Structure 1
Amino acid sequence: MAKINVRPDIDAAAERIGSVVGAKREIEHLPEVLWEGETVDMLAGGSYGGGIGLLALTDLRLIFLKHGIMSQKLEDFPLGNISSVQWTAGMLMGTLTVYASGNKAEITQIAKPAGKALSDKLRMTLAQLKAPVVPPAPAPVALLGVQEVTSRLATLDQLRAAGAITDAEYQERRSAILSSI
């Protein structure tokens, strides 16, 4: 595809997909629908809801944009709302089915190489997004208790050696520390 000179991330994505017949207008208008700070990862041409347009995968959403002379259509699927995607392909074209918030959207007539690459990237992004965050394992409570008691006893020994507490106070506090175990 010829260089469009819209924005570096959009231009790079457009160059990777090659020819997107009839999508130049959508590519030029894509910055108008992007959120602040949102970047485009991949593009593909396709048909959705009776119109041929542009499918854009960003770091935040999957967007279908049709920007015709007589009508415009914009539908977006925030990545956090997408539960799964399905890619099916024939010889040249394929269909990307997106399941989001209990709904199903089928984007058809996507060129096979671009659609496969986009669906793979989308699946990988969703897997990373939904991967459970595993917190670091906490130190065993018993070990923390032993370390705390040892520290308190060492401080108590230092206080007695410095003459800050009497032997009777030392014995009383030492007994209290040991009984807290």
Structure 2
Amino acid sequence: MVFEYILKMNGIDPTTDLTIIQNIDFGVTAEAFVGGTGDYTVEFEPHATGIEKDGSGYVIASLGVDSGYVPYTCFSALGSYMKEHPEIIQSFTRGIQKGLDYVNSHSSEEIAKVIQPQFEETDDDTLKTIVERYHSQDTWKTDTIFTEEAFELLQNILEEAGVLEQRVDYDALVTTQFSK
């Protein structure tokens, strides 16, 4: 949806100006591309860097950069749970903030070393390259606040994709009290 939204923002109609192959399992799109299917592919890491490292292709753009701050990851809780357990929500939010503080104040090499155990299948050099790319693209926010601007962008993307029937008021779904 984000890819199609970016195409449309740039005057490209994804239904008439190109063919998007969507019947390949997401886990094997990199292999399909390397095997000759398609002229371009949209990949998450570590597949994008893997394609570059083996000489099969190049990363030419970042959907995250071109789309703006799309909230790819957000956390949800029932209002009743937040009301009954504010200390848990606050502690969780502080933990996420500590992670953001870390990635925004340490080198790519330091970050790669710390997260390596979570990515055993990815070699150190590839992991460092990925983290460096994220740093250079300003991927990580500095705080946990889900802004109204990001919320509206997400709704624009969902609406443009035809999966959002009715827009929702920011204040009805989002609280920033724990982040603040």
What TM-score, normalized by structure 1, do the two folds share? 0.23
Query: Which structure: larger Rg?
Result: 1
- Higher RCO structure (Cα 8 Å, ≥6 apart): 2
- Structure with bigger strand share is 1
